[in-house]
Structure 1
Amino acid sequence: MPDGTVVIADEPHLLARPFTRFWAQFLDELAASVIFVVPLAIVNNLGVPLPDGVMLLPLIGATLYFLLQDGLPNGQSLGKILMRIQAIDERTGKPCVFGQSVLRNAFLFLGLIDVLFILSSRRQRLGDRVAHTLVVHTLTAATRSA
């Protein structure tokens, strides 16, 4: 079995490397900025009067996206789709669900404390450990070696 491979329910999964996970997260942050912040900034710069509280909408939208992103189909956020990785349940191998997504991503707000855990042998952040998730390549280890 190649290094960085785990077997869940008799299926080998190749763990995503920290660098790949970094780029997926970067792409998600970029997408959230474009979707939630840029349109509001443009409207605001055009001098269009905005009702009180509207400026909070991008923050709320981006926060919801970050908390729920890995519960999207196949355990993949936009960044994970582009980087060909996914979040899965470490016990079943099935894609991450919304509850796990909220739990694992809530720990992102701890910053470096959460991320340092990714250097473990199973490459799990603290949030992954609490939510019982792993981030793996979408192609199984068996498919990659074939």
Structure 2
Amino acid sequence: MKTYMHDCLPSTYDLATPLKRFYAVMIDVSIAHILFIVTEKVVGLLAAWFFVSISHTLEMTLFTITFLVPYLYLLFADALPRGQSPGKRVMRMSVVGFPFETYCTPFRSLLRNFPKILFSVLDAIFVFFGHRRRLGDMLGGTIVINSRSPQ
């Protein structure tokens, strides 16, 4: 008899609730916003300090860096130790592989968070059904569980 991935889920995982996941996302988005503000200030100060007049190309490069830093954080934060972004660490959750519990890798973090940036609300709706897996979790082969070990 063939066994499918969805057959091994409900009783074997301590799934994080949608509310906990929402709080963790809000913490991580706040951190990304702070990163944007800090990066913008640092890049602006460096540009003002080193250049009297900067070229359009350099100006666009600095502008791109300002936006890239927070997005890179959002894309790769789940690959931090124990599969915990700062928001997940505060909420005592971890991102692990599914069906085998391995901590989230940078590649899986990228796969699972890219749909969140593209489809935000549509992606999040999936957390309320079935196995509480967003589209990004399905794409990245991950699941969000409550942490077992102390922080």
Normalised-by-shorter TM-score class: 0.7 to 0.9
**Aligned-pair CA distance for 1:42:** 7.7
Alignment coverage as a number of residue pairs: 131
Equivalent residue, structure 2, for 1:105:
113
CA deviation string 1:86-124 (max 9, x = no partner): 100012111111111100100002122211111122100
Structure 2 unaligned spans of 5+: 1-8
Q: Letter of the 1:124 partner, please give it.
A: R
Report sequence identity in percent. Answer: 29
Question: Cα–Cα, structure 1 residues 39 and 68, in superposed 2: closer, same or farther, change >3 Å?
Answer: closer
Q: When you count helix as a share of all residues, which structure comes out higher?
A: 2
RMSD across aligned positions (CA): 2.4
Q: Which runs of 5+ in 1 are unaligned?
A: 8-12, 141-146
Task: Indicate the residue corresponding to 2:126 in structure 1.
Answer: 117
8 A Cα contact 1:6 1:15, kept in partner: no
CA deviation string 1:63-103 (max 9, x = no partner): 11111111111111111111110100012111111111100
Answer whether contact 2:43 2:62 (CA < 8 A) is retained: no
Give the conservation status (yes or no) of the 8 Å contact 1:124–1:134.
Answer: yes
User: Residue 131 of structure 1: which of 119, 123, 140 is its match?
Assistant: 140
CA distance in structure 2 between the aligned counterparts of 1:130 and 1:56, rounded to whole angstroms: 27
Change (3 A) 1:103 1:65: same
Q: Which structure's residues are more often strand, by fraction?
A: 1
Residue in 2 that maps onto 1:143: none
* Equivalent residues in 2 for 1:44-63, closer than 5 Å: 44=44, 48=48, 51=54, 52=59, 53-63=61-71
* Distance of 2:114 and 2:107 partners within structure 1: 11
> Tell me, what secondary structure is at the counterpart of 1:92?
coil
Structure 2 vs 1, CA of residues 57 and 74 (structure 1 numbering), >3 Å: closer, same or farther? same
TM-score (norm 1): 0.78
Give the number of the structure whose alpha-carbon radius of gyration is greater: 2
The correspondence of residues 16-31 of structure 1 with structure 2, limited to 5 A, is: 16-31=16-31
The TM-score, its normalising length taken from structure 2, stands at: 0.76
